Amino acid sequence: MLRVLLLLPIASYRNQDFLDAAHKLGVEVVSAADHCPQFAPQRGLSPILSLHFDQPETAAAQVLASLGRRVDAVLAVDDAGVELAAVLREKLGLPGNAPEAVRPTRDKLAFRQLLQQNGLNCPAFHHLAGASEARALAAQLHYPVVVKARRLSASRGVIRADDAQDLLQQVRRVSRIQSGADRDAGALGLIVESFIPGSEHALEGLLENGQLRVLALFDKPDPLDGPYFEESIYVTPSRLSSELQTAIADSVQRVCAAAGLSHGAIHAEMRVNDTGVWLLEIAARSIGGLCGRMLRWRLGMTLEELILRHALGLPITQPEHSDASGVMMIPVPRRGIYQSVMGLEAAREVPHIEDIRITTVPGQRIAPAPEGASYLGFIFSRAATPAAAEAALRSAHAKLVFDIQPDLALAKSTAR
């Protein structure tokens, strides 16, 4: 029986989808997780279930000491584990991207430097080590700019600034967000880059021997112009011209080659305007959240099954499919404590709606971008055209009413 090591962050939406795909394929799963190391021994958990994913060398040694029988593949189900997965594959002699190829994709500063060094479209950018540098830089910039935490994902810690005073305020805010989410925040600093106008898109792909296979190209029909950049709707197939779609794929291929990425799933984000394709990021993993579920008709299987098949060398066939599909990551309208949702049944009855999954649980603290790291849930549509798939998502969302109560504990701490 084939055996796969899955790195399953406890906060990931996707753990069960990968486990279900492995079960369907008859693959034995070895689970590794990031439960708190202080509490894991008290709960009788093995060391492999209490890893620091953000300390890959230390975590890899912990895994190898506990792994036992050899595995046939190592996969990270989400962004947090991609570098650890790369380190483990290298140590186990398994095919996959090298750690040095993965690292630049997880650091916005390193990724900008990679684009610049390889002559690809790249905004002007600056590394800020501290607030004093921001004050010196503020008068020199051409606004608007975007302040970014270096290693956070899902638009967390990304804020537009429109003038010098705004820049200083947003640098302080993003610094607080990064400090609360990344143990290396003090050493990392922030990145400030010119705002890139244009429409935003995403590409889901698979690298095979360094060659990019495009699985889907998504449009993001809502304008993402700031001050925050919370994503909401993805629709495929893209309505861009075939020439622009080819240009996007070519740009992604070039950057993957420059980084040394050659194997496995990749997810790329980009903007397109009159001057061409501007890559925002490339991740050595598949699309996050539950968004991959929108692709099961296009792929003829779940995205997770396809990724497992590729990692294990199993055959992959992709059927011809003409339908459009879409997903809405239900945005968090305000900070507070989630209680309930009304209108769910009416929303599910909207034509072309395939499924609605509310992933937030009652009593959970939630916050919108740029602080928030989660969504209320996901709406999935399938229709004959991208426009119809998009319209169904908007119609279903309009029927949902969320009860979000004020977070009194937060209000009291702020008042102090």
Statement: the pTM of the whole predicted model exceeds 0.85: yes
Of the candidate CATH numbers 3.40.30.10, 3.40.50.20, 3.10.450.30, 3.30.1380.10, the domain formed by 3-97 belongs to 3.40.50.20
Among 118-122, 195-199, 282-286, 296-300, where is mean pLDDT lowest? 296-300
Judge whether 259 and 282 are in contact, CB under 8 Å.
yes
The yes-or-no verdict on residue 410 having pLDDT over 80 is no
Q: Is beta strand 73-76 parallel, antiparallel or unpaired with respect to 3-8?
A: parallel
CA distances from 385 to 89, 160, 219, 235, 290 (A): 41, 33, 13, 10, 22
H runs (alpha helix) in 280-339: 296-299, 303-312
pLDDT of residue 45: 61
CATH 3.30.1490.20 fits 124-194, yes or no: yes
Residue 415: is its pLDDT beyond 50? no
Extents of the domains making up the chain: 3-97, 124-194, 324-416
Assess contact for 192 and 137: CB atoms under 8 A: yes
CA diameter of the chain:
62
Separation between Cα atoms, residue 342 and residue 402, nearest integer Å: 6
Q: Over pLDDT 70: what percentage of the chain?
A: 96
Average pLDDT, integer, range 221-231: 93
Q: Which of 43-52, 104-113, 182-191 has the lowest mean pLDDT?
A: 43-52
Q: Bigger pLDDT: 386 or 181?
A: 386
- The average pLDDT across 264-290 equals 96
Q: Worst-scoring range by mean pLDDT, 176-185, 235-244, 380-389?
A: 176-185
- Assign domain 324-416 to its CATH superfamily: ATP-grasp fold, B domain (3.30.470.20)
pLDDT at position 10 is 86
